[in-house]
Amino acid sequence: MSDPSDLINRIQRFIELQEEVYAPVGKLEAPQVSTPALPKDKENLTKEENSAEESAETIEEPTDPNYPSPEMIESLKACTTLDELRALCETADILKTDLPDTKLVFGKGHPQADLMIIGEAPGAKEDALGEPFVGASGNLLTKILEAIKIGRSDIFIANILKHRPPENRNPTAEERRRSLPFLEQQIDIIKPKLILCLGLVSAQTLLESSAPLKDLRGKFHPYRGDYELMVTYHPAALLRNKHLKRDTWEDVQKLRARYDELGGNPAFAPYK
């Protein structure tokens, strides 16, 4: 059996020789094998690669059939009165839900209202009459407003959707997205000092938020730079759960106080 120290010496010399010829052991780098880029069939691309390819190939913005066309947006922006906007809404199929033959529920109230109330979508009664909040929720809304001495005809009431969804289901994200530019233009024509959102659909749509109602309600949020927006419960929720009434009462009292502070017009009967 050979001497182990002799064996170690021989290994050492072998390594030194290898290092002289190649590179220090341990710093050898894997050989760079360059593989030519293979033409990739589109189906084999990853999702990211595919979308990058698509945007590189796209010359013109594709028109999204689920969003008002650029021409419609232009006509919308050109509306300076509620009558002009209403006429445009009458012709805008994009505002419709998949329920056939619904009536436009444009919104109702004072054209220069300092307070705008925004609900979710028309129900059966609203669809039949073409007016917002005329059913059971509407009756409760009228009473809430009377309690803070605000008359319905002095404010403006509208909804996120201007047509009734089937079976009173919640408006889909797509329906809200299609309708929003029309409501925004309506708000910009009316220029209210305050906006009150009733319920989660209205609040989350306008505030572009996914926060729960309990986090959004009862405070003033800045909205699109020019407006102040308050959120409270939808009257339909109050009809189902009377325990929400106390919070709603506090919210609308705050709303009324802010309305007075901002010099809301008309100065409704002084609030006690």
The CA-to-CA distance between both ends of the chain, in Å, stands at 110
Using the rule CB under 6 A, give the single segment among 31-39, 127-135, 223-231, 249-257 that binds ligand URA: 127-135
* Residue of minimal Cβ distance to ligand URA: 119
State which residue, 79 or 200, has the beta carbon closest to ligand URA: 200
* Cα 94 from Cα 24, distance rounded (Å): 71
CB 119 within 8 A of CB 155: no
* Distance of alpha carbon 164 from the chain centroid: 19
Hey, which residues between 141 and 160 contact ligand URA (CB under 6 A)?
A: 159
Distance CA 116, CA 194 (A): 6
Query: Least distance in Å: CB of 264 to ligand URA?
Result: 22
Does residue number 137 form part of the binding site for ligand URA (CB under 6 A)? yes
Least distance between ligand URA and beta carbon 200 (Å): 11
Q: How far is the CB of 171 from ligand URA (least distance, A)?
A: 9
If the CB atoms of residues 109 and 123 are measured against ligand URA, the closer one turns out to be 123
Find out whether the peptide bond into 266 is cis, omega within 30 degrees of 0. yes
> What is the Cα–Cα distance from 175 to 99, expressed in whole angstroms?
12
CA 266/CA 269 separation, integer angstroms: 9
Q: Looking at 50-58, 66-74, 122-130, 250-258, which segment touches ligand URA (CB under 6 A)? A: 122-130
The one-character DSSP state at 40 is P
Q: Does 122 bind ligand URA (CB under 6 A)?
A: yes
**Pick from 76, 82, 121, 140: which binds ligand URA (CB under 6 A)?**
121
- Residue 117, SS3? strand
| Site string (74-113) toward ligand URA, x via CB under 6 A | ----------------------------------------
Q: Which stretch binds ligand URA (CB under 6 A): 42-50, 75-83, 84-92, 126-134?
A: 126-134
Which residue's CB is nearer to ligand URA, number 75 or number 145? Answer: 145
* 194 in Cβ contact with 219 (< 8 Å): no
Residues 217-236 that bind ligand URA (CB under 6 A): none
Closer CB to ligand URA, 119 or 264, in the complex? 119
Q: Is 119 in the site for ligand URA (CB under 6 A)?
A: yes
Does position 123 interact with ligand URA (CB under 6 A)? The reply is yes
- Rounded to the nearest 5°, which phi and psi values hold at 118? -125, 115
**Helix ranges, the chain (H):** 4-21, 47-57, 70-78, 82-91, 124-129, 136-147, 173-190, 200-207, 213-216, 235-240, 245-261
| Binding region for ligand URA (CB under 6 A) | 119-123, 126, 132-133, 135, 137-138, 159
